[in-house]
Amino acid sequence: MSDSSYPPIEPWRTGIRGRCPRCGQGHLFSGFLSLRPSCEVCGLDYSFADPADGPAFFVICFACIPSIFLGVWLEVAFQASLWVQVFVTGPFMLLTCIPPLRPLKGWLVASQYFYKAEEGKLG
């Protein structure tokens, strides 16, 4: 089926849930961060998708930096031991860094489809 037979769906509706950006029904991922080759419902080929390091960049900006501030604050305010840092800052970093990766990658892939992003060409 052609793209014109499907109504456009906003990227945040499909990508964050890990659904196909064209039909909104099929799955986008085959593993935690591995994209499927195509949608099992509408057959959309996902070879156009290349979010590169976008999800990791957003996670670094919005999750890792607060984790560093937490560790520094614990050290300055309480002179926390290494074990306190490991058991407080470590889980905080894991819980704020790993879960957002998949929704962010799905959102970036869906945005690429929705806005018809492609490689730039000099011309």
pLDDT interval class at 17 (50, 70, 90): very high
pLDDT interval class at 119 (50, 70, 90): confident
Q: For residue 122, tell me if it sits in a domain.
A: no
Q: For residue 24, tell me if it sits in a domain.
A: yes
Question: Domain of 87?
Answer: 3-114
- Which amino acid type is present at position 16? I
Q: For residue 51, tell me if it sits in a domain.
A: yes
Q: For residue 67, tell me if it sits in a domain.
A: yes
Q: For residue 98, tell me if it sits in a domain.
A: yes
Helix 82-97 with 65-78: angle, nearest 10 deg: 160
Picking from 63, 65, 46, 61, the residue whose alpha carbon sits closest to that of residue 108 is 46
Q: What's phi and psi for 29, nearest 5 deg? A: -110, 145
Average pLDDT over residues 67-71: 93
What is the per-residue pLDDT across 38-47, written as a single tens digit (0 to 9) for each?
A: 999 999 999 9
User: How many distinct structural domains can be found in the chain?
Assistant: 1
For residue 27, the tally of other CB atoms under 10 A from its CB is 14
What is the per-residue pLDDT across 81-106, written as a single tens digit (0 to 9) for each?
A: 999 999 999 999 999 999 999 999 99
Q: For residue 102, tell me if it sits in a domain.
A: yes
